[in-house]
Structure formats: structure tokens, C-alpha cells
């Protein structure tokens, strides 16, 4: 399925360029599209049974990629795989895995290689670290956050890079957080750890680029994921306060709303594509204009 855009145009079958340009039914005969060059590519999307990971897998599958998704809960994982297959008719491999486990990550990549023959695209994603302010965080909190954010990224990249080097082509997209650019209140684990992923990405980028492998980060703001929507039922004073905070957050976003997961999926699909072949070492915020930083 083509990514709809206005950057290029293609006449419908049987129509000449002149008839499309000049005829009275030009609008109905002129299809605007760009082929992202993802048909048949193999993508691994981590933590992808819900939310931004699932939206990324769906966007890639719509473009013809063969997709491996993974998550801890088998029922949620199979439901996501069935939904993506039904909409896109793409090949989808679902592998139950805990993305904080080195062994599980190896299993995900091995299963992908066995099924599809390699890995072309990695979308690294994970659940966020726990909420909390610095004075309340323990050493165990920091260790767990490092496992969830940093080691998850390191392990996935380490596993897929040999296959990308072999093909001299690859795309690595890390889904991180706006905390890379601007601290987020009451998530000091994220504020302290996630900027380090940007530094690591920049450090390893030149070595990857020599073999045609690009690596970029995507920084989502607040999106309407199950993590947010699941709170809407309320039930405790703490959850009710969280709901109030999300409503207040929307009011601070210049576009005036929370993001839709597929909007991030579209950005991921573009960065994974042939059309993004000269983009590497970049950090893309997708937050409705909320970040105030100039860089």
C-alpha cells in the first residue's frame, strides 16, 4: 500500500499524461503517491502488541514489509498480529518476549531470521520507566530503568547489526521520549537515562553509515495509547489525578490535542524507507509542538 503524499504523481492505468493533466476528470485519474521501497523488507518491532509499537508495525506492514512483533503477553500479541494481518495481508510473526531479557531478545531475532532470512529494519521500543521524582527513587529503580531503556536498546541493536552489515543496508529507529530534549515532570528516571541513548546513537552512527545503515531516534510526546486510555476508568485518587494531568497536558500542546499512534507510525515508516536514505544520526520530535527547545 502506497504512502499517500503530494510529492509525486502517477496517472491511472490507460491514461496518458496529457489526458490526466488536461481532461475534465483529471482529479479522478491522477493518483498521488510515493513508493517507500519497503515491499518485502523485514522489520522487527519491539514491544509492539499495543500503542506506539503496534502502530509502527501496522504502518510498516501497510507498506509491504514483513514484520516481527514481540511483547510479553501472548494474548495481546496474537490479537495485534491478527489485526495487522487482517488489514494489510502482510506476513506477521508474533514472538512472545520480555524486552528486558537478553535471552528473549536473541530468541526474537533468531526466529525472525529463521522465518524471513534476515533483518532489514529495527524499531526499538519499550515501556517507559516508572514515574517518580529524584528524592523518591532507589538504586533498584535506576537499575530497572537502565534495563528497560538502555540495555533493551543496546541488545536489540547488537543482535540485528550483523545482518544489516551483511546486506550493506539497514534502518534502526529508536522510539524514545521528549525527555531526550526537555525534562518531563515527575519522570526523573526517563530524564536521567534517555538522553544517553541519543549520545550512544551519535557515537555508533558513523560506523553504521559506512555500510548503508541509518540510525535515528523518534521522540513522542503524549499519545492516546492504552497506557493513557486505560486510566480513563479512574478508580483511585492517584489515577484520577493522572487523568486530570493528561487533560491539562493537552491544553499545553500548540496543536491542542494528544497524538494518534498511527501518526508516529507514519514517521517510523518514512525513516525506515528508501526515501530517508540520507537521514542518519537525527532526532525527530513528534509532540504537537510541545517541546520549546530550538534544537
In this predicted structure, which of 181-195, 205-219, 234-248, 264-278 has the lowest mean pLDDT? 234-248
Mean pLDDT of the region 136-161 = 97
C-beta separation of 97 from 75 below 8 A: no
Same structural domain, 184 and 272: yes
Mean pLDDT of the residues in the chain:
87
Q: Cell 526499538 appears where?
A: 124
Model pLDDT, residue 8: 37
pTM of the model: 0.85
Q: How high is the pLDDT of residue 248? A: 74
Contact assessment for residue 158 and residue 107, using Cβ atoms and an 8 Å cutoff: no
Taking residues 167-176, report their average pLDDT. Answer: 98
Q: Which residues contact 17 (CB under 8 A, 6 or more apart)?
A: 11
Report the first-to-last Cα separation within the chain, whole angstroms.
Answer: 34
| Rounded mean pLDDT, 21-27 | 42
Q: Pick from 261, 292, 233, 235: which is nearest to 175 by CA?
A: 261
Instruction: Let me know whether 149 and 109 are in one domain.
Output: yes
Residues above pLDDT 90, as percent of the chain: 75
Is position 130 within any domain?
yes
Over 70: is that where the pLDDT of 67 sits? yes
Do 140 and 11 share a domain, yes or no?
Answer: no
Q: Could you tell me the CA-to-CA distances from 5 to 48, 216, 263, 288 in Å, in that order?
A: 26, 22, 14, 20
Residues 29 and 58 in one domain: no
- The pairing of strands 3-11 and 30-34 is antiparallel
Residue bearing cell 492516546: 224
Residues 148 and 41 in one domain: yes
71 and 7 inside one domain: no
Residue 227 near residue 20, CB atoms below 8 Å: no
Strand partners, 187: 132
Choice among 4-18, 80-94, 100-114, 253-267 with the minimum mean pLDDT: 4-18
Give the pLDDT score at 224.
85
The CA-CA-CA angle for residues 188, 193, 194, to 5°, reads 100
> Which of 269, 284, 287 has its CA nearest to residue 45?
269
**pLDDT of amino acid 225:** 78
pLDDT reported for residue 19: 35
Question: For residue 86, how many C-alpha atoms fall within 13 Å in the half-sphere facing its CB?
Answer: 6
Q: Which of residues 52 and 233 earns the better pLDDT score?
A: 52
My answer on whether 267 and 157 are in the same domain is yes
Q: Does some domain include residue 119?
A: yes
Are 48 and 24 found together in one domain?
no
21 and 103 within one domain: no
Number of domains in the chain: 2
Residues 19 and 114 in one domain: no
Tell me if 30 is assigned to some domain. Answer: yes
Residues 205, 281 contacting (CB under 8 angstroms): yes
CB atoms within 10 A of CB 282: 15
pLDDT in tens, 89-147: 999 999 999 999 999 999 999 999 999 999 999 999 998 899 999 999 999 999 999 99
Q: Does any domain span residue 292? A: no
Task: Specify the pLDDT at position 272.
Answer: 98
- Decide if pLDDT at 257 tops 90: no
In DSSP terms, 42 is beta-bridged to 66
Give the residue, 153 or 21, on which the prediction is more confident.
153
Which range has the worst mean pLDDT, 32-46, 52-66, 158-172, 259-273?
32-46
Region 51-74 average pLDDT: 97
Other Cβ atoms closer than 10 A to 20: 19
Flag whether 294 is in a domain.
no
- Whether residue 264 lies inside any domain: the answer is yes
Residue for grid cell 536473541 = 106
Range of the structural domain that residue 253 is part of: 37-286
Q: How many alpha carbons lie under 13 Å from residue 154 in its C-beta half-sphere?
A: 15
Domain assignment present for 91: yes
Q: What local confidence, expressed as pLDDT, does residue 20 receive?
A: 35
Answer yes or no: is 202 within a domain: yes
Amino acid at each position: 500500500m502506497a504512502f499517500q503524499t503530494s510529492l509525486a504523481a502517477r496517472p491511472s492505468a490507460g491514461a496518458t499524461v496529457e489526458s490526466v493533466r488536461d481532461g475534465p476528470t483529471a482529479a479522478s485519474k491522477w493518483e498521488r503517491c510515493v513508493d517507500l521501497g519497503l515491499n518485502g523488507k523485514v522489520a522487527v518491532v519491539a514491544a509492539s502488541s499495543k500503542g506506539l509499537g503496534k502502530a509502527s508495525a501496522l504502518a510498516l506492514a501497510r507498506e509491504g514489509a514483513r514484520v516481527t512483533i514481540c511483547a510479553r503477553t501472548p494474548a495481546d500479541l496474537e490479537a495485534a498480529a491478527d489485526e495487522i494481518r487482517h488489514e494489510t495481508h502482510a506476513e506477521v510473526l508474533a514472538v512472545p518476549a520480555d524486552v528486558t531479557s537478553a535471552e528473549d531478545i536473541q530468541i526474537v531475532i533468531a526466529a525472525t531470521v529463521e522465518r524471513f532470512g534476515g533483518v532489514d529494519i529495527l524499531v526499538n521500543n519499550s515501556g517507559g520507566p516508572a514515574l517518580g521524582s529524584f528524592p523518591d527513587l532507589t538504586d533498584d529503580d535506576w537499575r530497572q530503568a537502565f534495563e528497560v531503556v538502555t540495555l533493551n536498546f543496546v541488545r536489540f541493536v547488537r543482535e540485528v547489526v550483523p545482518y544489516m552489515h551483511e546486506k550493506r543496508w539497514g534502518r534502526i529507529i529508536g522510539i524514545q521520549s521528549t525527555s531526550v530534549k526537555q525534562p518531563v515532570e515527575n519522570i526523573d528516571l526517563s530524564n536521567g537515562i534517555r538522553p544517553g541513548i541519543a549520545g550512544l546513537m551519535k557515537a555508533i552512527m558513523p560506523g553504521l553509515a559506512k555500510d548503508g545503515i541509518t540510525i535515528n531516534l523518534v521522540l513522542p510526546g503524549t499519545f492516546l495509547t492504552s497506557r493513557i486510555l486505560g486510566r480513563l476508568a479512574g478508580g483511585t485518587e492517584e489515577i484520577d489525578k493522572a487523568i486530570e494531568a493528561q487533560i491539562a497536558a493537552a491544553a499545553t500542546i500548540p496543536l491542542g490535542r494528544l497524538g494518534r499512534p498511527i501518526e508516529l507510525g507514519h514517521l517510523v515508516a518514512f525513516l525506515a524507507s528508501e526515501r530517508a536514505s540520507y537521514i542518519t544520526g537525527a532526532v525527530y520530535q513528534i509532540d504537537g509542538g510541545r517541546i520549546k527547545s530550538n534544537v
